[in-house]
Every structure is written in C-alpha cells, then in structure tokens.
Amino acid sequence: MRSDVVVVVGAGLQGCGVALRLAQAGRDVVVLERSIPGAEASSAAGGILSPGVEAEPGPFYHLCEQSLARWRSFAEEVERLSGTWIGFRAGGTLEVSLDDRFTPVLAGRATQLARAGLDVEVLDGEAARRLEPGLSPETRGALYFPTEASVDPRLLGRALHAAAARAGARFVQGQVRGIALEGGRATGVDHESGRIDAGAVVLAAGAWSMQVEGNGLPAGAVRPVRGQIAVLDTRPPLLSRVIFSDKGYVVPRPDGRVLCGSTMEEAGFEKAVTAGGLLRVLELAVEVAPGLAAAPVVETWSNFRPATPDGLPILGPGRDGGLFYATGHYRNGVLLTPITADAVSAAVLGRSTPVDLAPFGPARLAPRGPPR
Ligand SMILES: Cc1cc2nc3c(=O)[nH]c(=O)nc-3n(C[C@H](O)[C@H](O)[C@H](O)COP(=O)(O)OP(=O)(O)OC[C@H]3O[C@@H](n4cnc5c(N)ncnc54)[C@H](O)[C@@H]3O)c2cc1C
C-alpha cells in the first residue's frame, strides 16, 4: 500500500514553504534537513524582491511577478502564524547609473520593460537623489521599480520553519542519501536513520540537490554559484531601499545595517569569504553611496546559489511518478518562495497550478532519451 506521507528533502525557504502549504492542505508532511532549517543559501540572501532588475519579459518574469504579487499577504500570513516579524519592506528598488556608459543601457531596458507593461519609472540623477539622499552625486539617472520590496531572509527562514511546524509539518534532522524509486515511482527516501516511505517526495535540497541519489535530473542540472556579502552598520540609517548598479547591490535594513553584495563565483562548495570578494562588494557599495565608506563592517559570509544551466528554477513533477522539484532558484529564491510554495504544493496535491510550470519542468534540461 502506498504511504500518504509527503517527504520534503531540505528545509530552506523552498522546503519550508512547500511544507507549509501541504500541511495546511491536511497532508502528512515530513521535512528532512541535515543541518539547521534555513541555515544555508536561504539565510545568506540579500532578500531583494525584484523581478524588474532580474528578469526580462517572458515566462520567468511572469513567475517572478506572480510571486511578488503574493509577497505582502505571504509576509502577513507567515508573521501571523509564527508570531515573528520578517522585515518585509516595501518602497521600491532603484537601479542606478553612475556613468555615461551605463545610462543608455538603462534607458533601453526601461523602454523594453515599459513596452511589456512593467511598472518602471525613469528618473534623472536629481530625482533619484531626492528619493535616496545617500546616493552618490555621480548618479546620472535611475530606473525606479515602485512595487518592488525586500525582506530579511534570516528572520523569514526562522518564521517559515515555525509556521510550517505549527501547521503540522514534522521536521526531522539528518541527511537524505537518496530517493527510493520502484517501478518508475518515488516510494520514499533513504535517510541516515533508515528508510522512510512516502507517497510523494519533493526535492528542495538547493545547491546540494545533485548529491541526493535518484534525483532524476541530468548531470549538471544544479550547481553551486558562490556569493559573498559584507554587512555595514550605518547610524542613523543612510539608505531606505534596495539600490542596484551594474556591479551589484546594497540592501538596507530598517535598523541601519546595509548588506553589500554580491559575487557570482564558480568555486564549488568552498564556503569562504575572500579578500577579492570583499573588495568587489565594498567598492561597489561605496561607489553607490559614498557615505558608506565610514561605516564599520560588522559581518561577512558566503553561501551557494542553486544555479541551473539556463538560470531558471526547476519546479513541479519530473519523469518519475511521485517525485517533485522545488530547486534551482539561483538568484531569486527569496522572491520566488511564495509562488514556489503555492505551485509545487498544488502539483503534489494533483490540483491545477497557479502558473504554468511547463517552462520550469526538469524535462527542458534532459537530453532526450527513450520513455520509461
Ligand atoms: C549571497 C546570496 C545572495 C542572494 N540574494 C538573494 C536575493 O536578494 N533575493 C533572492 O530572491 N534570492 C537571493 N539569493 C538566492 C536565494 O538565497 C536562493 O535561491 C534560495 O535561498 C534557495 O532556497 P533553497 O531552499 O532551495 O536552498 P537552501 O536554503 O540552500 O536550502 C536547501 C537545504 O537543503 C538541505 N539539504 C541539502 N542536501 C540535503 C540532504 N541530502 N539531506 C537533508 N538536507 C539536505 C541544506 O542543508 C539546506 O538547508 C541569494 C543567494 C546568495 C548565496
């Protein structure tokens, strides 16, 4: 007899979000996490919620937009369920140009985005500095995305874990070695404590997804891309919204901390903060807002984005019955948490998904083979 249990492998934002929705739908959910829930990429992120800067118009932009549209109510729900504030901050994001070379690039993007119906305003340098007085006097112009926002991913990770647990998801510590497959169907997992039977398995192991045997993905489908972040402390707060330049971004928190990020490095799983990495993120931050030069560095870290060959997430059902994916979120896993939770849980429950998951299915990555 098939088990009714749904096993989720990994308790980052994706695993916890999907588990929350499945538990709310009355399913028996077990989340298996080898470390501390939320402690990997999910707590290393800047927490930027920005479809405009990250995506060109198309199915991926639509996915990002659908997720952004959910964010305010998702934040309220998670805060209510967990009793924890998660630092959701509206007010828009700015993409600035600090030199004459980047200004026409921004103008071209603005035209393209506006043509596709995206909410974007073009500001001259003065208008951008009126919005953010801490910006460099060198600011030539900016794109302003008024509906975009940010959140504190560390607070979010804790809160989403608590919310899922309160909704009834069971969290079990320990490593998953592999997914058990019988007759082309996932029937459970091989966990360090032994075999756990399941009617469905959701792979949400982030950058480590390929290390789970039986993952059903072609070689190289998910790889780690390291990102480094330095945190500065400004008192009183110098900035109030996320600012991008062509080199990176700064993410101010309401308490005055400013996250400066981030590098994009093919460094395997070497979790290191390097001199070169810090140099790059600090240089970009001071270029964007020169007042940051006087701010103390209070923290640094690095972690691994789960990247895919085409930069899109892997979502929904795979070739093997009962095996579902919530992985490969690369640079946008925080932004995509609400839509991933809704869409992947709907796929597991056999319901229609709120967005078409076909462009994000694992089949797009697979070399064509004989059907099984
Ligand atoms: C520096 C940096 C900045 C970023 N900034 C942003 C941003 O501003 N906005 C944004 O939207 N996104 C951002 N991202 C991307 C975002 O952090 C990720 O896309 C997202 O966190 C991925 O979530 P996840 O749950 O898939 O992965 P993770 O949080 O890494 O979770 C995967 C979990 O699976 C567990 N696991 C792995 N293998 C096993 C196993 N075999 N058994 C049991 N457990 C296992 C791990 O321990 C881990 O807890 C950033 C990422 C980085 C690194």
Instruction: Write the CA distances from 257 to 173, 230, 282, 295, 320, integer angstroms.
Output: 32, 10, 14, 9, 45
> Looking at residue 2, what is its pLDDT?
61
> Looking at residue 108, what is its pLDDT?
87
Spacing, Cα 64 to ligand 1 middle (Å): 17
d(CA 177, CA 271): 22
Residue nearest to ligand 1 atom 51, measured at CA: 45
> Looking at residue 369, what is its pLDDT?
54
> Looking at residue 117, what is its pLDDT?
81
> Looking at residue 295, what is its pLDDT?
98
The maximal CA–CA distance of the chain, rounded, in angstroms, is 68
> Looking at residue 321, what is its pLDDT?
96
d(CA 323, CA 53): 32
Q: Which amino acid is at 241?
A: R
- In order along the chain (372 residues), what is the average pLDDT of each group of 10 residues? 86 98 98 97 97 82 95 98 97 93 85 84 94 96 95 98 98 98 96 96 98 97 98 97 95 97 97 98 98 98 98 96 98 98 98 98 78 50
Which residue among 150, 299, 334 is best mutated to probe the pocket of ligand 1, counting the most ligand atoms within 8 A of its Cβ?
Answer: 334
> Looking at residue 370, what is its pLDDT?
54
Q: What pTM was computed for the model?
A: 0.97
Q: Which residues lie with the beta carbon below 6 Å from any ligand 1 atom?
A: 9-15, 32-35, 39-42, 44-48, 175-176, 204-208, 211-212, 227, 229, 261-262, 303-306, 327, 329-335
Instruction: Find out whether 85 and 277 touch, Cβ atoms under 8 Å.
Output: no
Q: 89: number of CA atoms within 13 Å, CB side?
A: 19
Instruction: Find out whether 49 and 148 touch, Cβ atoms under 8 Å.
Output: yes
> Looking at residue 109, what is its pLDDT?
86
d(CA 10, CA 8): 6
> Looking at residue 1, what is its pLDDT?
47
Nearest ligand 1 atom to the CA of 229 is: 1
